[in-house]
Structure 1
Amino acid sequence: MRQACVLLKHGELALKGRNRERFEHQLIDNVRRALDDLGPGVRVRRRRGVIVLSAPGRPGLPPTLLERAREIIGVSVVQPALRVDRTPEAAVAAALELAREARPDGSRPRFAVRAKRRHKDFPLSSTQLNALIGAAVNAELGWPVDLSHPDVEMAVEVDRREIFVSAARYSGLGGLPVGCSGRAMALISGGFDSPVAAHRAMRRGLACDFVHFTGAPLTGPSSAYKAYALVRRLARFQSGARLWIVPLGHVQKELSLAGAGSLHVVAQRRLMIRTAERLARAAGAQALVTGDSLGQVSSQTLSNLATVEQAATLPLLRPLLAWDKEEIMAEADRLGTGEISRLPDEDCCSLLAPRSVATRTTASSLERLERRLDVEATVDGLLAKARLLHLTPGREESPGTGPEERREPSAAAAS
């Protein structure tokens, strides 16, 4: 037996005690969904502390399997490996094969062998297996052994029915499997912050739906397309997503006519929170997620954050509260959302914004303005105009066409 495979390992789930089974099942379901479009030959199997990906009905593994596996939240380590018979001789042969593949130019890196037995009935101890494989690689290829600072580290894992041998190890995203902590509605703009905040929420096990507020009809469609591109990128981490597009332009104009003045931005954010919460309840979400960072802009002072939060009855989560802008932008670039966020668009938050924004607000000062506006009727009007987009990460749009659009009938009726 000789079969190429990929091992997926999870770190944090080991701490879950009696709940570990539920988390592992969620992770396996997520892995299957993430790999579903790679073809029916990809097999997902659970082993003790590891998930094994293989393609027994195909000549080799799909070329994108490794990259796809590294984007599955909940996986801490991704290891391409060879699965071989449960004998010392098969383990030695696999190690030699992987060593030659790792250095096809014939160079002689320093190496180490790390063997582990999940089942102790194997005839050799871990130390003996290390010595056997190490001696073979040293004799055949001339590689020097260095247990402290190896250039190549070979992992050998003895399981119940087979041995896995690996010469490469990649970091995964870690975190908790998406969906194990429930569902949230993430408010997403075209900036750097909100996509990173949504991803951090996903890493804590929240499946996210999204809502984007545009300046339409006072602005063009650029921000909606930008939000679509950002959510499409984020959908790769949870195998799909839903995005609601809500036109806010008329309401922004009404706020100005109602005399919002320096309270305009905070009042607008409270309307966004109320609208997002109604959508969240209709979608079965239990929390809201925003990209707020304390003190980053004048609307995100502690006073203003508290005033905005008082408009919500669902928990309002702010994963980036203590992050600075450089940290956020670096993470956005790592996730692949940064290049999208840099594209120009017409941000609804700057539309009709006052010259100065109040930095110290209270709920009572906003409530007087909201009574003049008739908040409940305003939110009902926004929900009636909401558009729903379904995003599938593996599907490519035709050039020049827009995203798939569907009206969500329950959104306007949400209460």
Structure 2
Amino acid sequence: MNRVFLCHYSEIGLKKGNRNYFERILEANMRKSLQRYLPEEKFSIKKDHKRFLVYFTEDVKIDLVKSALERVFGLVNFSPVTTVSLEMSEIETIALKLMEKRPEKTFAVRTKRAEKSFPLTSQDINVQVGARIAEKTGKKVDLTRPEITCHIEIMRDKALIFVERFPGPGGLPVSASGKVLTLLSGGFDSPVAAYLMLKRGGKSAFIHFHSYPYTNKFSQEKVIELARILNQYQFNSKLFMVPFAETQEEIVFNCPDKLRVILYRRFMMRIAEALAKKEGYKAIVTGEALGQVASQTLENMGAIEQVITLPVLRPLVGLDKAEIISMARRIGTYEISVKPHDDACTRFMPRKPETRAKLHEVLKAEEGLDVEGMVQKALEKMELVEI
């Protein structure tokens, strides 16, 4: 005997002409996520009128299904359902059985008809099924704030009935918007930025800049842990580890103290863009939020991204720190990010960093540097970690 989960998407339904494209990616991602928890012979997926039905064998644990589906971007919610015929007597009987098991005292019945040729309207079904439940259980109808809702969806050849609804992460399916490269540090911000890009359909590879041997390897270990958490929302992630200490030393010895942070960031951007163009990533993603630290002013952001031509995406730009930390807790990166570590930039931080950079001063500071050679050297020493 099979059990069934009904999976709804939301935003994809607005895509009209492109909906099939998004649906194909969503179905593939659902399959990949489920395969992490279950053998493929234990489940099957069927698209049915702007919904997905996932069939499982009887021995599959519900918690495994939840763990898989709650990490699939594009799904807005999913529910374990009972499938019945389109006979009203059977719909009433199964709805009653489901509600009899529930302790809640007030309820509502909500019906959606994907099959508009069904002889009863949604309201007719609500009234008829609700009356049977109220009569047999003693529960009170409350259409404003019910403690529990019995959902009925009328399909072409069956009805789906359910009382539980689990939230999905929403957004667009990962890969639907293309590939991006995210600058990933061990802090709070960049993992949240990566998560938000995943939610908008951007499959992300990660690049991390470290200052080993001036710092220990803990920052690298943290980033690998963070990438593994983010990989739960996508599949087969790449993490590029770039030794950055030599680049920082060149800047410290040859450039004005106050411009160090901006110059570090400009070189990170150059290195990231060179990698992105080679690997086919269409944008660079950072965890910058406007005004949060010295390098994150409009002037400095402009001076930093002036060195590259790819789009620079900043999902956190309008968020404050409390909002970012709250999201980090929710997605599971907080406990790793909160651990102390030496950051690639802070190791060589100036006493008073520039907060309103003038581009002509920045360009003059770089005149004595072998920019192309420094970028190439960092890329040659870069290591790839497959997640």
When the two structures are superposed, what TM-score results if normalisation uses the length of structure 1?
A: 0.89
Equivalent residue number for residue 138 of structure 2: 142
SS at match of 2:368: helix
Cα displacement (A) at 1:258: 0.9
Tell me the amino acid that sits aligned with residue 16 of structure 1: K
Cα displacement (A) at 1:365: 1.9
Map 1:289-300 → 2, pairs under 5 A: 289-300=285-296
Instruction: Indicate how the Cα distance of structure 1 residues 83 and 376 shifts in structure 2: closer, same or farther if over 3 A, else same.
Output: same
Looking at structure 2, the residues matched to 371 and 120 of structure 1 have their Cα atoms a distance apart, in angstroms, of 70
Q: Quick check: 353-362 or 368-377, which moved more?
A: 368-377
* Cα-to-partner distance string for 1:63-121 (whole Å, 9 max, x where unaligned): 311132122111112222112223223222321232234x2xxx451001111221133
SS at match of 2:351: coil
Equivalent residue number for residue 126 of structure 1: 122
* Cα-to-partner distance string for 1:299-335 (whole Å, 9 max, x where unaligned): 1111100000101110001111111111111111111
Instruction: Indicate how the Cα distance of structure 1 residues 121 and 166 shifts in structure 2: closer, same or farther if over 3 A, else same.
Output: same
Q: Quick check: 192-201 or 63-72, which moved more?
A: 63-72
Q: Kindly indicate whether residue 375 of structure 2 is the aligned counterpart of residue 379 of structure 1.
A: yes
Q: Contact 2:276/2:283 (CA < 8 Å) preserved in 1?
A: yes
Cα displacement (A) at 1:166: 0.9
Equivalent residue number for residue 280 of structure 2: 284
Looking at structure 1, the residues matched to 278 and 208 of structure 2 have their Cα atoms a distance apart, in angstroms, of 16
Equivalent residue number for residue 80 of structure 1: 80
Aligned equivalent of 1:217, options 207, 213, 222: 213
* Structure 1: runs of 5+ lacking an equivalent: 392-415
Equivalent residue number for residue 269 of structure 1: 265
Instruction: Indicate how the Cα distance of structure 1 residues 108 and 361 shifts in structure 2: closer, same or farther if over 3 A, else same.
Output: closer
Instruction: Indicate how the Cα distance of structure 1 residues 250 and 108 shifts in structure 2: closer, same or farther if over 3 A, else same.
Output: closer
Equivalent residue number for residue 42 of structure 1: 43
Looking at structure 2, the residues matched to 366 and 256 of structure 1 have their Cα atoms a distance apart, in angstroms, of 14
Q: Kindly indicate whether residue 167 of structure 2 is the aligned counterpart of residue 168 of structure 1.
A: no
* Cα-to-partner distance string for 1:25-49 (whole Å, 9 max, x where unaligned): 1111111111112221111111111
Map 1:182-331 → 2, pairs under 5 A: 182-331=178-327
Q: Contact 1:219/1:249 (CA < 8 Å) preserved in 2?
A: no
Q: Contact 2:3/2:58 (CA < 8 Å) preserved in 1?
A: no
Cα displacement (A) at 1:20: 1.4
* Structure 2: runs of 5+ lacking an equivalent: none
* Cα-to-partner distance string for 1:323-369 (whole Å, 9 max, x where unaligned): 11111111111111111100111111101111010112133322222
Question: Would you say how many aligned residue pairs link Structure 1 and Structure 2?
Answer: 385
Looking at structure 1, the residues matched to 310 and 358 of structure 2 have their Cα atoms a distance apart, in angstroms, of 19
Q: Contact 1:66/1:80 (CA < 8 Å) preserved in 2?
A: no
* Cα-to-partner distance string for 1:190-227 (whole Å, 9 max, x where unaligned): 11111111111111111100000111121111001101
Tell me the amino acid that sits aligned with residue 53 of structure 1: V
Cα displacement (A) at 1:245: 0.6
